[in-house]
């Protein structure tokens, strides 16, 4: 099962790396992100209905079920949508101000936070997985160095790009918050049930854990997310609907290929997510990091320095160790 998960996630990593390249090259990253998410949602909707048809469900039954799930608790969907939009906006901002070779590795600094979350929610971590996560964390931290100084190996700590580290931590918190809600609503174990019961008792949520897969949750929540994303682009980023539509025409080639890449990356991730231990999934997703840097070097002519090489190497080794 792990070998098959590895194959699928390598493919997902390649497509995720391609999407990062398209996003970096885009002049209007928010507009491109918006249209990519719209077309990804359309593609995921098609796959969702196809899977249900293959399982013997009718169009009416699927639509009725989705209607019930959509009305279960809109407040939770709005929270997830806002969290994802803020994550995308922050990523677009970081991509605008820093090179991919610096951003992508340092974003992995949130790996221990995500892994610790899964541990608290019932996924046990083996010693190998713990070691892998430690290596990934070390690699992410080192990749933020401007350069190495020998023999004074501690000197890089004096001039760290603090804003980049803070941005990476903020991304980690946002993505972990999203993962928390998805996990609670799609995974059934004693811990998640206690958390859901607590929220019910205090009137925070009406979720009854009716979701049968993370893909089903994605299908319901994505509609709310896209609406929130549109409102963010128009009202917060102050881009008119006419401008957004114009960008679809101006960036049609980049949006098309970025949407294809993002769709495959998302679908394969959710497919593996629901069939494998979450710590293994977290570890295997790290293979998109060296691929993104390689593509950035080949297509964007970005310079890659020693800290990035050492950091990415540790991230990859950590991913292999954690997945064994």
The pLDDT of 43-51, averaged and rounded, is 89
User: Binning pLDDT at 50, 70 and 90, where does residue 145 land?
Assistant: very high
Question: What is the mean predicted confidence (pLDDT) over 238-248?
Answer: 95
pLDDT at 125 over 80: no
**Do residues 88 and 31 lie in contact, with contact meaning Cβ atoms separated by under 8 Å?**
no
Q: Which helix (H) or strand (E) holds 80?
A: helix 74-97
Q: Give CA–CA dist 65/26, Å, rounded.
A: 38
* DSSP secondary structure of 277-296: -HHHHHHHGGGHHHHHHHHH
Q: Is the pLDDT of residue 96 over 70?
A: yes
Residue 210: CB partners within 8 Å, gap ≥ 6? 68, 69, 72
- What does the buried/exposed string (b/e) look like for 226-250 if buried means 16 or more CB atoms within 10 Å of the residue's CB? bebbbebbeeeeebeeeebeebeeb
* 90, 171 Cβ separation under 8 angstroms: yes
Q: How far apart are CA 59 and CA 316, in angstroms?
A: 43
Quote the pTM value.
Answer: 0.87
* Mean pLDDT across the chain: 85
- Per the structure, the count of domains in the chain is 1
Is 254 in a helix, a strand, or coil? helix
CA neighbor of 81 nearest in space, from 179, 228, 235, 237: 228
Please state the separation of Cα 54 from the chain's center in Å: 28
Please, what is the Cα angle at 316 between 311 and 318, to 5 degrees?
95
pLDDT-based confidence at 218, cuts 50/70/90? confident
pLDDT at 57 over 70: yes
Q: Which domain holds residue 87?
A: 2-323
- What pLDDT is stored for residue 126 in this prediction? 80
Out of 60-69, 90-99, 200-209, 211-220, the most confident range is 90-99
Q: Helical H runs in 121-161?
A: 127-143
CA distances to 36, 219, 220 from 224, in Å: 15, 10, 8
- What b/e readout covers 251-274, taking b as 16+ CB neighbours within 10 angstroms? beebbeebbbbbbbbbbbbbbbbb
Q: How confident is the model at residue 140 (pLDDT cuts 50, 70, 90)?
A: very high
Q: Which two tokens stand for residue 226?
A: 């896209």
For 91-112, what is the mean pLDDT?
90
Closest CA to 142 of 97, 96, 102: 102
Model confidence band, residue 116 (pLDDT cutoffs 50, 70, 90): confident
């Amino acid at each position: 099962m792990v070998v098959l998960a590895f194959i699928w996630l390598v493919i997902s990593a390649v497509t995720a790396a391609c999407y990062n390249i398209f996003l970096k090259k885009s002049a209007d990253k928010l507009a491109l992100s918006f249209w990519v998410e719209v077309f990804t949602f359309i593609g995921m909707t098609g796959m969702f209905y196809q899977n249900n048809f293959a399982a013997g469900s009718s169009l009416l039954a699927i639509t009725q079920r989705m209607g019930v799930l959509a009305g279960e608790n809109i407040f939770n969907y709005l929270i997830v949508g806002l969290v994802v939009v803020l994550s995308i906006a922050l990523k677009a901002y970081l991509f605008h101000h820093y090179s991919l070779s610096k951003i992508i590795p340092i974003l992995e600094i949130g790996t221990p936070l995500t892994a610790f979350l899964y541990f608290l929610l019932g996924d046990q971590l083996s010693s190998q997985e713990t070691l892998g996560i430690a290596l990934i964390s070390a690699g992410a931290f080192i990749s933020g160095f401007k350069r190495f100084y020998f023999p004074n190996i501690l000197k890089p700590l004096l001039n760290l790009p603090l804003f980049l580290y803070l941005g990476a931590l903020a991304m980690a918190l946002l993505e972990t918050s999203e993962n928390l809600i998805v996990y609670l609503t799609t995974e059934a174990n004693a811990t998640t049930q206690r958390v859901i019961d607590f929220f019910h008792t205090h009137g925070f949520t009406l979720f009854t854990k009716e979701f049968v897969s993370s893909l089903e949750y994605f299908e319901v929540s994505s509609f709310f997310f896209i609406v929130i994303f549109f409102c963010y682009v128009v009202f917060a980023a102050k881009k008119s609907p006419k401008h957004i539509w114009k960008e679809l025409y101006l960036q049609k080639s980049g949006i098309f290929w970025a949407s294809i890449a993002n769709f495959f990356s998302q679908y394969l991730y959710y497919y593996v997510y629901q069939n494998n231990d979450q710590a293994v999934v977290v570890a295997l997703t790290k293979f998109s990091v060296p691929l993104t840097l390689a593509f950035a070097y080949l297509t964007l002519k970005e310079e890659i320095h020693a800290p990035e090489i050492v950091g990415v190497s540790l991230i990859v080794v950590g991913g292999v160790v954690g997945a064994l």
